[in-house]
Amino acid sequence: MSDAAALPSLKSDQLFINLGPQHPSTHGVLRLGLTLEGELIVKAVPDIGYLHRGTEKLAEVRGYHHCVVLTDRWDYVSAMPNNLVFCLAAEKLMGVKAPARADALRVMTCELNRCASHLLFFGTYGIDVGAFTPFLYAFREREMILDLFEMLCGARLTYNYIRLGGVGMDVSADWLTRAKEFLEYFKPRLDEYDTLLTYNPIFMARTRGVGLVSAAEAVNWGLSGPNLRGSGVNYDVRKHDPYSGYESYDFEVPLGQEGSCWDRYVCRVREMRQSIRIIEQALARLPEGPILAPGVAKVPKPAAGEVYAHVEGSRGDLGIYLVSDGGISPYRMHVRAPSFVNLAMLEEKLAGMKVADVIAVLGSIDIVLGEVDR
Amino acid sequence: MSDAPQAPTPAAPIPAAAPAAKPAPAPKAPLPEPKLNAASGRLLTDRFATWPQPIFDSKWSRQGYRNGALMLAGILLGGGLLGALIGELAPWGDALYALVASRAAAAGFAPPAADLAWTLIKVLIVLHVILLNGLWAIWWERKISAHIQSRVGPTYAGGFHGWLQTAIDGIKLLLKEDVTPAAADAPVHALAPAIVVIPCVIAFAPVLFGRELAAASLDVGTLYIFAFAGISVIGVVMAGWASGNKYSLLGGLRAAAQIVSYELPRGFSVVPVLMFAGSLDLAVIARAQEGYWWGVVPRWFAFYPVVGQIAFLIFLIASIAETNRVPFDIPEAESELVSGFHTEYSGMKWSIFFLTEYGYVLLGSFLLATFFLGGGASPLPWTPFTLVPSWLWMLGKAMLMMFVFLWVRWTLPRMRVDQLMDFTWKFLLPWSFANIAIAGLYLAFRLR
Amino acid sequence: MTQDELFAKIQGQFPQVQKAQIQVKDYLTVRLSSKDDLLPLSSWLKENSFDYLDMLTGTDYLGPTDMKGYISQPNFNPFLPEGATPQIEPSAAAGFPYRPVLDLLWSFVSLKEKQRVIVKLELQRDSPSVPSLTGLFKAADWQERETYDLLGVRYEGHPNLTKILTPEFTSGHPLRKDYAHVKDRFDE
């Protein structure tokens, strides 16, 4: 902004650019209307809704079991927490509690999925700042997690694994062995990522001090997940409002310092390490027993009431507000989508930045358009 | 017979007309028993059988490294022997010129005609160096990038490590539709690739391929190369403007700013070399680096304490920036500007941009070898090395430098526009000036 | 701080704020009597460590969703025989108080106290409007636009109250229960 203001006498025209909806680094169908003054951005207007499928309305005409399938399609990069949050809300409505084994499996799959999602972020963020190689490294490992999910539930992206009252399929001994093998394989790779990208001087120059969000700002914007924690605010639903037995796991919440793109990035990379810790604990304690709670009807008709449930999804605080009128389908479902809330700050943050920083900031917010538009 | 379960051999029906002398085909190995996922009932692919194998610990990988090392040693040894058999190329060139001249005289042409024919022949040779370099460098880059990224790269086309991949890609590019966008300024759009590629080819005229091996021996060779290499940016700006695309326009503008800025440190970093050699002629510069300190260390400019290393690094960095490659690829920044100035190009026009890029990589590599790595001089003063002809040493050094170009390309992220400009104006340029001063001190105290 | 202590604290400041009849399970739910209380209450909450506006939305209590306009054929389930009535058709549940109101909801979180308070307000369905919270919480910006787009609530004082999820050429507010899809240029 200062550069443009320094030359008031120079007459120049502004350039309007449509960044998206088809662009290599908008991570989906986000459209940004950028008004440029040379390389500087004067105004940025995000335009969303290209992927709006109206799942909240669709849920009003579907049974509770069918709604789990809808949830897979929000954050298609990490669908397990989506399944989980709907099931938690519906279980609260019905007064059902998932058995211990199902809880451990839910924790395990959600954390694995968080790793997969953060690996995707790691890879694509590398591409966003111009380093292509980390992408291939990240996908090598992500592929293995997806293989694990394929073994578990037959799907690689939209799992529909977590069901009302528990989980859909039990794990085999083979799967557990492979999961342990994977964790052993994965741990040293995280150090590799640090040497490859995290502490690369050019990468740090591109991302440190860029897109600063102070703690107060982050809270005011309602950011959540690594975006909030990157600013140093310690808010993690797993610690603040534990669900599925997270209170009994020993893990830390990585925090950033200044709220720059680099802090948000580092939070995610460090979170993968904590996820590994959680999965290891869950594998060690995995109790025997049923995986589905009794008493979940094939066509559930919970009593009239309202519930709110939220989980720490891969992108932040993912919540569901569910109203039942006693019928066979939810009377109203509202999703508190973290990507949607996080993206709202983009418009204000981008003004005065360089074009290259748009990509760095947008990438560091880590949105999934399926969740933004729902 | 062991008591391991024996796979049933398929009863292969022998055709009646088959000649009896032909041996029966060996029975195929039985397919592994299909594994089903217990949960989903889906077929599991066989990657689960060896999964997850740490790539760097596997037996396969260790074998691969051993094979690779053996192959590299074989190439070096074989290339050296072949080169020693061929010997220096300059006498062959003289013989060829004598042949052309005698033929022209016999046919009754005036002597200038023979010179013209000889020049055409040299132009064709240099042109083919650039074209073949495109074929080679693209394949090599694909292989190097693949191995850096724990992939294998092209393996199919041509059989041996996919060596034919670039040729087949080239055929594909030739056959592709050449699209001119409706919003484009068609004549300029078509002219831009030509403006980009022609200076690149022209700049190769004085490039030294061996001790005395160059298409044209120019007293101002260094200046000539820098002058022509700087013209290409006009074509890039034209391409950005004429495409009628805002991303292309931004890319063209960025290219103009970047290349013009990096011309300066690039030019000034060579000044110490010119001061030591006392000439702008590439052959003289290369000859000035022959010989050894204490009989072992080659007197290359890269080995001059402090001054040589600074000049080498600045020239290398500026050369990478001149070729628009990562970490300086902001004119075609894929994640920001889609493809920058060549977003709207397709088919052969697009591949001409690509060819030019690799042409400049080759030019930069040869210049680095000439200015700093002693040209065609052998790195070691002993017999087997000195027998290798100078053009082979030159090629080897240039390829080593090209490897550095590719290696950097696939390892580093991209810089931002303002960081790029800060880097050249506030860091590279002052240091290249300081370097000139240091070189002056060397000369003043006769430390050379 | 338990829910009761929190409620006592709120009522000490705003005596007209009542506990909602239907509580959102596990969280304190209060109901405003008029929309004039919204801004004072939320700014008071913001000062008292409830500075994180987690979510805002609304519910249309008119009745079950009208399927008209959503499905092109009366029998959209391909597994059902010709002419059969659709399996899943929401019907009015007995004993549920359907009424022509929009029930708006704001959810404030205190990161320090690990507490959540949900504020509710009922509005009439025709031309509903409430004051916007964008002056206090920037998080309200897009969420209010979303609620405006999908439920048709006007947030007075919002700097840019425009459609956000649905395209410009569509009309109506999809999450209202009587919404019927109007055929546009993208149908068939």
Q: How far apart are the first and last CA of chain B?
A: 79
Angstroms from A152 CA to nearest CA on chain B: 6
Chain C: residue whose CA lies nearest to A224:
C54
pLDDT band at B52 (very low <50, low <70, confident <90, very high): very low
Name which of C117, C121, C119, C85 is nearest C102 in CA terms: C121
Q: Same domain for A177 and A297?
A: yes
> How far is residue B431's CA from residue B311's CA, in Å, rounded to a whole number?
9
Angstroms from A49 CA to nearest CA on chain C: 4
pLDDT band at A24 (very low <50, low <70, confident <90, very high): confident
Assess if residue B208 is contained within a domain. yes
Q: What is the pLDDT of residues B395-447, one digit of tens each?
A: 889 999 999 998 998 888 888 888 888 888 999 999 999 999 988 888 888 76
Assess if residue B35 is contained within a domain. no
In this structure, of A23-32, A181-190, B122-131, C73-82, the range with the lowest mean pLDDT score is: C73-82
Q: Same domain for B171 and B181?
A: no
Amino acid identity, position A126: G
Cβ of A317 under 8 Å from any chain C Cβ? yes
pLDDT for A112 equals 93
> How far is residue A149's CA from residue B47's CA, in Å, rounded to a whole number?
14
pLDDT band at B18 (very low <50, low <70, confident <90, very high): very low
Nearest by CB: A130 against B247, B327, B417: B327
pLDDT for C180 equals 79
Cβ pair A354:B418 closer than 8 A? yes
The radius of gyration of chain A's CA atoms, rounded to the nearest angstrom, is 21
pLDDT at B47 over 50: no
Q: Identify the H or E element spanning A37.
A: strand A31-37
pLDDT at B348 over 80: yes
Contacts of A341 in chain C (CB under 8 A): 139, 142-143
Contacts of A374 in chain C (CB under 8 A): 165
Structure tokens at C174: 């999809």
> How far is residue B47's CA from residue B53's CA, in Å, rounded to a whole number?
10
Cβ of C180 under 8 Å from any chain A Cβ? no
Cβ pair A61:C89 closer than 8 A? yes
B4-32 mean pLDDT: 55
Q: Same domain for A127 and A169?
A: yes
Q: Identify the H or E element spanning B195.
A: helix B186-203
pLDDT for B54 equals 45
Nearest by CB: A240 against C57, C114, C139: C114
pLDDT for A7 equals 54
Q: Same domain for B146 and B195?
A: no
Contacts of A133 in chain B (CB under 8 A): 145, 148-149, 410-411
Q: Same domain for B108 and B187?
A: no
Cβ of C70 under 8 Å from any chain A Cβ? yes
Cβ of A17 under 8 Å from any chain B Cβ? yes
Q: What is the pLDDT of residues B125-145, one digit of tens each?
A: 889 988 899 889 999 999 888
> How far is residue A51's CA from residue A46's CA, in Å, rounded to a whole number?
14
Q: Same domain for A194 and A277?
A: yes
Q: Same domain for A112 and A243?
A: yes
For residues B36 and B49, the model is more confident at B36
| pLDDT above 70: percentage of residues in chain B | 85
Q: Same domain for B192 and B131?
A: no
> How far is residue A308's CA from residue A324's CA, in Å, rounded to a whole number?
12
Assess if residue C141 is contained within a domain. no
Cβ pair B335:A202 closer than 8 A? no
Nearest by CB: B413 against A23, A130, A178: A130
Assess if residue C59 is contained within a domain. yes
B350-376 mean pLDDT: 90
Cβ pair A326:C95 closer than 8 A? yes
Average pLDDT, chain A: 87
Name which of B98, B132, B136 is nearest B118 in CA terms: B98
Structure tokens at B228: 């022509």
Cβ of A21 under 8 Å from any chain C Cβ? no
Cβ of B422 under 8 Å from any chain A Cβ? no
Nearest by CB: B149 against A133, A152, A154: A133
Q: How many CB pairs under 8 A join A and B?
A: 123
Nearest by CB: A169 against B39, B247, B419: B39
Q: Which residue's structure tokens are 């790029």?
A: B420
Residue C36 belongs to domain spanning: 3-130
Cβ of B50 under 8 Å from any chain A Cβ? no
pLDDT at B362 over 80: yes
> How far is residue B250's CA from residue B247's CA, in Å, rounded to a whole number?
5
Cβ pair A306:C70 closer than 8 A? no
Q: What is the pLDDT of residues B92-110, one digit of tens each?
A: 888 888 888 888 888 887 7
Q: Same domain for B102 and B205?
A: no
Helices assigned H by DSSP within chain A: 2-5, 55-59, 64-72, 80-94, 100-128, 133-153, 173-193, 201-207, 215-221, 226-229, 237-240, 261-285, 338-343, 346-350, 355-365, 369-373
Assess if residue C164 is contained within a domain. no
pLDDT for C78 equals 62
Angstroms from A249 CA to nearest CA on chain C: 19
pLDDT for A265 equals 92
Residue A137 belongs to domain spanning: 55-373
pLDDT at C54 over 70: yes
pLDDT for B50 equals 46
Cβ pair B37:A150 closer than 8 A? yes
pLDDT at B8 over 70: no
For residues B223 and B67, the model is more confident at B223
Q: Same domain for B184 and B138?
A: no
Assess if residue C90 is contained within a domain. yes
> How far is residue B402's CA from residue B368's CA, in Å, rounded to a whole number?
10
Q: Same domain for B115 and B99?
A: yes
Chain C: residue whose CA lies nearest to A221:
C139
pLDDT at A277 over 60: yes
Q: Same domain for A30 and A137?
A: no
Q: Same domain for B233 and B150?
A: no
On whether the CB atoms of residues A339 and A27 are closer than 8 A, the answer is: no
Burial class (CB in 10 A: 0-12, 13-18, 19+), B45: exposed
Q: Same domain for B139 and B284?
A: no
Cβ pair B246:A17 closer than 8 A? yes
Cβ pair A319:C165 closer than 8 A? no
In this structure, of A284-288, B253-257, C89-93, the range with the lowest mean pLDDT score is: C89-93
B260-276 mean pLDDT: 89
pLDDT for C16 equals 85
Structure tokens at A237: 């639903």
pLDDT at C175 over 80: yes
> How far is residue A22's CA from residue A18's CA, in Å, rounded to a whole number?
9
Q: Same domain for A120 and A25?
A: no
pLDDT for A356 equals 80
Q: What is the pLDDT of residues A163-221, one digit of tens each?
A: 998 898 888 887 888 888 888 888 888 888 888 888 888 898 889 888 889 999 899 99
Contacts of A16 in chain B (CB under 8 A): 246
pLDDT for A37 equals 83
On whether the CB atoms of residues B199 and B231 are closer than 8 A, the answer is: yes
Angstroms from A24 CA to nearest CA on chain B: 6
For residues A88 and B210, the model is more confident at A88
ipTM score for this prediction: 0.85
Q: How many CB pairs under 8 A join A and C?
A: 129
Contacts of A329 in chain C (CB under 8 A): 88, 90
Length of chain A: 374
> How far is residue A210's CA from residue A223's CA, in Å, rounded to a whole number?
17
Q: Same domain for B199 and B318?
A: yes
Q: Same domain for B139 and B221?
A: no
Assess if residue C41 is contained within a domain. yes
C35: domain CATH number is 3.30.460
Q: Same domain for A130 and A61?
A: yes
pLDDT at A113 over 90: yes
Q: Same domain for B170 and B184?
A: no
Structure tokens at A147: 């293989």
Amino acid identity, position C150: L
> How far is residue C129's CA from residue A216's CA, in Å, rounded to a whole number?
29
Cβ pair A182:B47 closer than 8 A? no
Length of chain C: 188
Total count of domains within chain C: 1
Contacts of C143 in chain A (CB under 8 A): 340-341, 344
Total count of domains within chain B: 2
Q: Same domain for A64 and A42?
A: no
Q: Same domain for A12 and A68?
A: no
pLDDT for C88 equals 53
B331-350 mean pLDDT: 80
B16-27 mean pLDDT: 59
pLDDT for B279 equals 87
Q: What is the pLDDT of residues A330-372, one digit of tens each?
A: 889 999 999 999 988 888 888 888 888 888 888 898 888 888 9
pLDDT for C21 equals 83
Assess if residue B401 is contained within a domain. yes
Residue B127 belongs to domain spanning: 92-175
* C23 DSSP assignment: P
pLDDT band at B20 (very low <50, low <70, confident <90, very high): low
Q: What is the pLDDT of residues B69-94, one digit of tens each?
A: 888 899 888 888 888 888 777 788 88
A78-89 mean pLDDT: 92
Q: What is the biggest distance separating any 2 CA atoms in chain B, rounded to whole angstroms?
A: 93
pLDDT band at A295 (very low <50, low <70, confident <90, very high): confident
Total count of domains within chain A: 2
pLDDT for B1 equals 41
pLDDT for B404 equals 92
> How far is residue A124's CA from residue A135's CA, in Å, rounded to a whole number?
6
pLDDT for B119 equals 86
pLDDT at B327 over 80: yes
For residues A2 and A82, the model is more confident at A82
pLDDT band at B49 (very low <50, low <70, confident <90, very high): very low
Domain termination site, one of B138, B160, B175:
B175
| pLDDT above 90: percentage of residues in chain B | 12
Average pLDDT, chain B: 81
Q: Same domain for A222 and A282?
A: yes
| pLDDT above 70: percentage of residues in chain A | 97
